[in-house]
Amino acid sequence: MSERLQPGDVAPAFTLPDADGNEVSLSDHKGRKVIVYFYPAALTPGCTKQACDFTDNLSVLASAGYDVIGISPDRPEKLAKFREKESLQVTLLADPDKKVLESYGAFGEKKLYGKTVVGVIRSTVIVDEEGKVERALYNVKATGHVAKIIKDLAI
């Protein structure tokens, strides 16, 4: 089971393919704040709601200096379908081997309908301009999460 990140930790570096197969790295965003959110699966109701919420609030977040990256274990082809079907504007990255999910503490044991299972833990990590963890939120709800982030960050 992976360790959860804490404020002040250096955010683990990553380079993953986006929905078009282009490599995207956390270091590409140096000098900007980045909201990295981890979700279980594209094209599922909760994940769709969350991705649409981020897209709907992207201009608000961007004007406050935040970039948004969503990471799931899906393959780039599925992410492309997800983006097209839902008109998503957030950057979606594929982590099929779950190495980045694990390095961020977003993969491991969780409760699902009262049972303990191993899978993606819906999480959001906010990384500052220097690449350090500003906030690390685990077991977040898909609905209302973006509004809570905006409120908590006083945007």
Residues 6+ apart with CB under 8 A from 34: 26, 66, 67, 68, 69, 126, 127
Under 8 Å between Cβ of 95 and 16: yes
Residue among 74, 69, 80, 71 nearest 122 (CA): 71
How far, in Å, CA of 155 to CA of 117, rounded?
35
Q: What whole-number percentage of the chain has pLDDT above 70?
A: 99
Model confidence over 59-72: pLDDT tens digits? 999 999 999 999 99
For the annotated catalytic residues, the residue numbers are: 47
Q: Is the pLDDT of residue 1 over 60?
A: no
16's tokens: 């993953």
Across all residues in the chain, what is the average pLDDT? 94
Q: What whole-number percentage of the chain has pLDDT above 90?
A: 88
Pure H helices in the chain: 45-56, 58-63, 76-86, 99-103, 145-152
Residue among 113, 111, 12 nearest 71 (CA): 12
How far, in Å, CA of 115 to CA of 136, rounded?
24
Strand partners, 118: 109
Q: What pTM did the predictor assign? A: 0.95
Model confidence over 96-138: pLDDT tens digits? 999 999 999 999 988 878 889 899 999 999 999 999 999 999 9
Model confidence over 69-84: pLDDT tens digits? 999 999 999 999 999 9
